[in-house]
């Protein structure tokens, strides 16, 4: 049976407009912030007030801020001290209606999540909302000649960190294996029947499509989670029944350059939203390469290597035999 699919209208306004003054100065420097509306929609859909929400790669704390604003408790883990400090500052900046409770940001490697989170929270997390790092082609901001006094534009705020151990800088193979470990850790702290929401998107690298959403789907199953939904969270607005794109400068530049080289690249207008659940005490686990269905058990090989998630695209239109 195919998973349910829905479209989340999560970009009625731009990211900066959604954040406004709700986030502290310096938050905009993070190169890959989740849209607040995406986190808020997930939290509203899959939790109730008073529930505990976790982001194991929380960045500046978008998931945590939106959880607190919606009357939930929130926990975060962030590898980079700079972003962890901003996440804590954003939490302090957010009005909390839940009273004293479970709100904290730990600085560390999410692959050791169960060690970083107090044991009293293990088995009580209702929802995990997170996103793995992916291609840098859509990240960063620009400074114009007017700002710098020099000709042309310069790129800024396009790196997660300068630490080579940060998962944003490792190979796709290593990223997938690490993310599987992180999802496994998340399963251990989730309550039975708890939900995991992962936002991601594909990107192109030297003309090849990196199908990260399908690889994350496989990683979730390898971590013992059950796929439940595959949704679309819009990054474009809707006006008069038409999409209003809001691509970054670098998205437009990369798309234009790729098309000139004959690569059929398009501006991405959505995030893939993969939804998993933790099996309850009376349901089967879908760990490894085994999928349980009502009709029986089906075994499938899941693509957890770079070669399996790459889709080769010819570099020149003349070699494609297309239009």
When pLDDT is averaged across residues 70-85 and rounded to a whole number, the result is 94
CA distances from 25 to 22, 64, 169, 233, 311 (A): 10, 17, 26, 26, 40
State how far the Cα of 212 lies from the Cα of 169, in Å rounded to an integer: 15
The residue behind tokens 């957010």 is: 94
Q: Are 203 and 210 in contact (CB under 8 A)?
A: yes
Q: Mean pLDDT throughout 56-70?
A: 95
Give whichever of 16-25, 44-53, 247-256, 285-294 has the largest mean pLDDT.
44-53
- Mean pLDDT within 98-111: 81
The per-residue pLDDT for 117 is 94
Confidence of residue 67 (pLDDT cuts 50, 70, 90): very high
In this prediction, residues 304-319 reach a mean pLDDT of 40
- CB distance 140 to 128 below 8 Å: no
Chain-centroid distance of CA 207 in Å reads 23
Q: pLDDT: is 194 or 98 the higher one?
A: 194
For 9-40, the pLDDT digits (tens) are: 999 998 889 999 999 988 888 777 899 999 99
pTM: 0.78
pLDDT of 305: 45
Instruction: Compute the mean pLDDT over every residue in the chain, rounded to the nearest whole number.
Output: 79
Top pLDDT among 293 and 126 is at 126
Contact 220, 274 (CB under 8 A): yes
pLDDT range class, residue 141, cuts 50, 70, 90 = low
pLDDT at 263: 78
Return the half-sphere exposure (C-beta side, CA atoms, 13 A cut-off) of residue 238. 8
Query: Within 13 Å, how many C-alpha atoms sit on residue 17's CB side?
Result: 7
Query: Distance of alpha carbon 152 from its chain centroid, rounded?
Result: 32
Please return the burial class of 307, using the count of CB atoms within 10 Å of its CB with bins 0-12, 13-18 and 19+.
exposed
Query: What is the reported pLDDT for 55?
Result: 98
pLDDT in tens, 178-217: 999 999 999 999 999 999 999 998 876 666 777 889 999 9
- Confidence (pLDDT) at 298: 33
The rounded percent of the chain whose pLDDT value lies above 70 is 70
Q: What is the DSSP string of 2-44?
A: PPP--EE---SS-HHHHHTTSS-TTGGG-TTPPPHHHHHHHHH
- Per-residue pLDDT of 205-253, as tens digits, reads 666 777 889 999 999 999 999 999 999 999 999 988 888 888 777 677 7
The whole-angstrom separation of Cα 137 and Cα 31 is 11
Residue 320 has pLDDT above 80, yes or no: no
More confident residue, 143 or 192: 192
What is the average per-residue pLDDT within 136-147? 50
Q: Please return the burial class of 23, using the count of CB atoms within 10 Å of its CB with bins 0-12, 13-18 and 19+.
A: buried
Q: Residue 310: phi, psi to the nearest 5?
A: -100, 135
Residue 83 and residue 164: Cα distance in Å, rounded? Answer: 16
CA atoms of 108 and 267, how far apart (whole Å): 34
Comparing 67-76, 159-168, 282-291, 294-303, the range with the smallest average pLDDT is 294-303
């Amino acid at each position: 049976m195919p998973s349910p699919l829905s479209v989340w209208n999560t970009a009625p306004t731009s990211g900066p407009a959604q954040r406004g003054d709700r986030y502290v100065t310096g938050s905009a420097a993070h190169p890959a912030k989740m849209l607040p509306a995406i986190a808020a929609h997930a939290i509203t859909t899959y939790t109730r007030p008073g529930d505990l929400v976790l982001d194991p790669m929380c960045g500046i704390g978008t998931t945590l801020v939106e959880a607190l604003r919606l009357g939930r408790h929130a926990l975060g883990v962030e590898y980079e001290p700079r972003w962890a400090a901003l996440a804590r500052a954003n939490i302090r900046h957010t009005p909390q209606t839940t009273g004293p409770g479970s709100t904290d940001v730990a600085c560390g490697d999410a692959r050791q999540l169960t060690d970083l989170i107090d044991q009293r929270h293990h088995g009580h997390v209702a929802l995990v909302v997170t996103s793995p790092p992916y291609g840098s082609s859509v990240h960063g901001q620009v400074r114009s000649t007017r700002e710098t006094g020099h000709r042309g534009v310069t790129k800024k705020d396009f790196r997660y960190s300068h630490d080579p151990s940060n998962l944003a800088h490792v190979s796709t193979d290593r990223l997938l294996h690490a993310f599987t470990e992180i999802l496994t850790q998340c399963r251990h702290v989730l309550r039975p029947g708890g939900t995991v929401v992962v936002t991601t998107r594909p990107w192109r690298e030297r003309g090849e499509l990196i199908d990260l959403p399908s690889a994350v789907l496989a990683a979730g199953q390898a971590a013992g989670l059950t796929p439940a939904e595959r949704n679309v969270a819009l990054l474009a607005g809707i006006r008069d029944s038409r999409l209003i794109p809001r691509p970054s400068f670098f998205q437009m530049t990369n798309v234009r350059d790729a098309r000139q080289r004959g690569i059929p690249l398009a501006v991405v207008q959505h995030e893939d939203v993969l939804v998993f659940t933790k099996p309850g005490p009376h349901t089967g686990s879908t760990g490894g390469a085994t999928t349980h269905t009502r009709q029986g058990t089906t075994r499938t090989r899941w693509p957890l290597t770079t070669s399996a998630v790459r889709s080769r695209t010819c570099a020149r239109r003349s070699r494609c035999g297309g239009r």
